[in-house]
């Protein structure tokens, strides 16, 4: 059965809107990444990109970045090895840290001096030792300035239950300029040298989130999905003798394995153009840099039409913002036809305003080899907007 036929069967069986994540595509992509790294540096998956892939990715990568209490609970429910978890996140609480320590997590980031204080207090109460990466900011709200990093190195003896092992650095997302990353890695190497020379501290780890880009739209180059990492591979492997480097990503791993299915519910003429309305929308499916539907994603129409037409695709929300694609040439569509938006495996399903208009959360299907597994039923959200008295 062809891929389009399988997707059509999924849409007819489980309904639309629906997210489909192909684990075979995911595994093949991560294996290609492994072949590129050749074991010279580690890879870490940020589960915020797609929490439904957590269990599968835990068997494919070296570590999982967890950034919230909810993500921690996902890992606990999935029985993830606590030694594989790096507990990160810009806002931490003692309750979150206590829960992680209780589960056996020993790897943490500190994004501020306050984080270090909390980590020390929790570790002291549990009489345990925690391994910490100091997160250095790239200018955003993530991490701390270099002065604070150096202050914590200098005052490390004030945190007897914490072992500062290295630096965590997040460059941003969808960063296309490899030269910028080269400069960042050189600056980080110089910081490691300074810490060693001035404070006598030899750091042994670096966690680097390079924000590697992926192709999402028709006018982009899909020919070599590993190119952004290949451009950095030698730099990561040769960062500094004795330093174990981990590259951290989410979209770069997961984007290509996902398909969003939505069904056409209506079509009409607006301003001499054809407009179709779907049962999904921008509250459930977003691409990075989508620009109010101006860019054209890769879309398959799950029908046998030969004639093409230009259409505008809008979703089911009562807002003019719900434009998925303003203008795209596709095989001619009719009501009840299904559109398959490709490369939606990362963030697309969790960045939209999912509760707007109290529309349903889509079903989620994991596809692997010849089987399809429903892992979340379509879920009504209106219940979240009803008071307890009304219940």
The answer to whether 283 touches 354, Cβ cutoff 8 Å, is yes
Q: Taking residues 266-277, what's their average pLDDT?
A: 95
pLDDT tens per residue, range 338-377: 999 999 999 988 888 999 999 999 999 999 998 999 999 9
Enumerate the β-bridge partners of residue 328: 311
**For residue 390, pLDDT beyond 80:** no
**Secondary structure (H, E, C), the chain:** CCHHHHHHHHHHHHCCCEEEEEHHHHHHHHHHHHHHHCCCCEEEEEHHHCHHHHHHHHCCCCEEEECCHHHHHHHHHCCCCHHHEEECCCCCCHHHHHHHHHHCCCEEEECCHHHHHHHHHHHHHHCCCEEEEEEECCCCCCCECHHHHHHHHHCHHHCCCEEEEEEEEECCCCCCCHHHHHHHHHHHHHHHHHHHHHHCCCCCEEEEECCCCCCCECCCCCCCCCHHHHHHHHHHHCCCCCCEEEEEECHHHHHHHEEEEEEEEEEEEECCEEEEEECCCCCCCCCCCCCCCCCCECEEECCCCCCEEEEEEECCCCCCCCEEEEEEEEECCCCCCEEEEECCCCCCCCCCCCCHHHCCECEEEEEECCEEEEEECCECCHHHHCCCCCC
Which residues have C-beta within 8 Å of that of residue 325, sequence separation ≥ 6?
293, 295, 296, 297, 299, 312, 313
Q: Between 276 and 293, name the one with better pLDDT.
A: 276
d(C-alpha 31, C-alpha 305), whole Å: 36
Looking only at the bridges linking them, the beta strands covering 162-170 and 273-278 are unpaired
Task: Say what percent of the chain tops pLDDT 90.
Answer: 90
Q: What's residue 389's pLDDT?
A: 66
pLDDT tens per residue, range 176-198: 778 889 999 999 999 999 999 99
pLDDT band at 171 (very low <50, low <70, confident <90, very high): confident
- Decide if 23-254 and 256-385 have a common fold: no
Structure-token pair, residue 90: 């810009």
pLDDT band at 175 (very low <50, low <70, confident <90, very high): confident
End-to-end CA distance of the chain: 45
Enumerate the β-bridge partners of residue 342: 259
The model's pTM: 0.95
The answer to whether 104 touches 135, Cβ cutoff 8 Å, is no
Structure-token pair, residue 21: 């994540």
What mean pLDDT is reported for the chain? 95
131 exposure class (CB count in 10 Å sphere: 0-12, 13-18, 19+): middle
d(C-alpha 260, C-alpha 349), whole Å: 8
Enumerate the β-bridge partners of residue 22: 367
Enumerate the β-bridge partners of residue 2: none
388 exposure class (CB count in 10 Å sphere: 0-12, 13-18, 19+): exposed
Question: Which CATH topology does 23-254 take?
Answer: TIM Barrel (3.20.20)
pLDDT tens per residue, range 206-246: 999 988 999 999 999 999 999 999 999 999 999 999 999 99
Distances, alpha carbon 114 to alpha carbons 94, 118, 192, 389, in Å: 11, 6, 22, 40
Task: Kindly list the domain boundaries of the chain, sorted by start residue.
Answer: 23-254, 256-385
d(C-alpha 171, C-alpha 183), whole Å: 11
Alpha-carbon dihedral 249, 252, 255, 257, rounded to 10 degrees: -100
Identify which of 88, 87, 85, 90 has the alpha carbon closest to the alpha carbon of residue 61: 85
Q: Taking residues 51-79, what's their average pLDDT?
A: 98
pLDDT band at 61 (very low <50, low <70, confident <90, very high): very high
CATH class, domain 256-385, is mainly beta
pLDDT tens per residue, range 138-159: 999 999 999 999 999 999 999 9
pLDDT tens per residue, range 99-121: 999 999 999 999 999 999 999 99
**For residue 391, pLDDT beyond 60:** no
Residues in the chain: 391
The answer to whether 166 touches 133, Cβ cutoff 8 Å, is yes
């Amino acid at each position: 059965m062809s891929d389009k036929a399988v997707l059509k069967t999924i849409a007819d069986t489980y309904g639309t809107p629906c997210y489909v994540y192909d684990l075979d595509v995911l595994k093949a992509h991560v294996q290609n990444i492994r072949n590129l790294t050749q074991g010279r540096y580690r890879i870490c998956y940020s589960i915020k990109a797609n929490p439904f892939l957590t269990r599968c990715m835990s068997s494919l990568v070296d570590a999982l970045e967890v950034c919230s209490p909810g993500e921690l609970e996902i890992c606990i429910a999935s029985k993830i090895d606590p030694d594989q978890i790096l507990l990160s996140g810009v806002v931490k609480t003692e309750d979150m840290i206590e829960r992680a320590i209780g589960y056996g997590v020993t790897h943490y980031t500190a994004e501020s001096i306050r984080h270090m204080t909390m980590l020390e207090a929790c570790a002291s109460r549990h009489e345990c030792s925690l391994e910490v990466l100091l997160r250095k900011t790239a200018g955003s709200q993530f991490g701390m300035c270099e002065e604070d990093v150096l202050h914590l190195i200098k005052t490390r003896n004030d945190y007897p239950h914490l072992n500062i092992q290295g630096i965590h650095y997040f460059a941003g997302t969808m960063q296309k300029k490899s030269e910028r990353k080269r400069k960042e890695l050189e600056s980080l190497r110089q910081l490691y040298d300074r810490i060693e020379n001035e404070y006598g501290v030899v750091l042994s780890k670096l966690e680097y989130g390079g924000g590697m880009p992926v192709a999402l739209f028709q006018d982009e180059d899909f020919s070599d999905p590993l190119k952004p990492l290949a451009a950095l591979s030698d730099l990561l492997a040769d960062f500094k003798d004795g330093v174990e480097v981990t590259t951290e990503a989410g979209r770069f791993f997961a984007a290509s394995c996902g398909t969003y299915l939505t069904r056409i519910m209506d079509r009409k003429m607006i301003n001499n153009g054809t407009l179709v309305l779907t049962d999904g929308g921008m509250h459930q499916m977003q691409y990075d840099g989508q620009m109010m539907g101006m860019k054209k994603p890769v879309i398959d129409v799950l029908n046998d039409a030969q004639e093409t037409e230009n259409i505008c695709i809008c979703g089911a929300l009562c807002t003019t913002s719900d434009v998925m694609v303003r203008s795209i040439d596709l095989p001619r569509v009719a009501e009840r036809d299904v559109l398959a938006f490709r490369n939606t495996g990362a963030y697309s399903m969790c960045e939209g305003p999912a509760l707007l208009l109290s529309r349903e959360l889509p079903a989620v299907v994991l596809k692997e080899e010849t089987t399809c597994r429903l892992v979340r039923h379509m879920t009504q959200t209106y219940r979240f907007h009803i008071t307890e008295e009304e219940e």
